[in-house]
Amino acid sequence: MTNGRCATCYGTGELVTEQGPTTCPDCFGDGNPLGRGAKMEWRLRELERAHRGSGQDAEGDVLWLVHELRRCREALLWIVARCQDADEADPLAKDVKFRAVEALGLYDVKVP
């Protein structure tokens, strides 16, 4: 990260490749660094777009993996929500919530 801008494209939103300028794959042309959760969803959409209807051998496998990943992330979100309802003194809920938040990349978790 450079002054809050995407470090890959230096905030321009574009990368110049041998094929010409392309949209930056890390910020999707925005120029600002995205949270990990948002990045994940954009990458999943890009994978789906690239594979759906491609007729390639891997099409079904990739779409299945994207579906399974979304399903697991939804389950993790549900776990985070349930842990937020738990007693704040409950160490198990606190630990489970920390792990789920970290896996989802909801916010930058500072490890002490």
Query: Rule CB under 5 A: which residues touch Zn ion?
Result: 6, 8-9, 24, 26-27
User: What does each C-alpha distance from 84 to 32, 75, 88 come to in angstroms?
Assistant: 30, 14, 8
Q: Report the nearest approach of Zn ion to the CB of residue 66 (Å).
A: 23
Q: Report the nearest approach of Zn ion to the CB of residue 18 (Å).
A: 18
Q: Which two tokens stand for residue 75?
A: 């389950």
Phi-psi map region of 98: left, alpha, beta (phi>0 left; psi -120 to 50 alpha) = alpha
Q: Report the nearest approach of Zn ion to the CB of residue 17 (Å).
A: 13
Q: Indicate the residue among 12 and 105 with the shorter CB distance to Zn ion.
A: 12
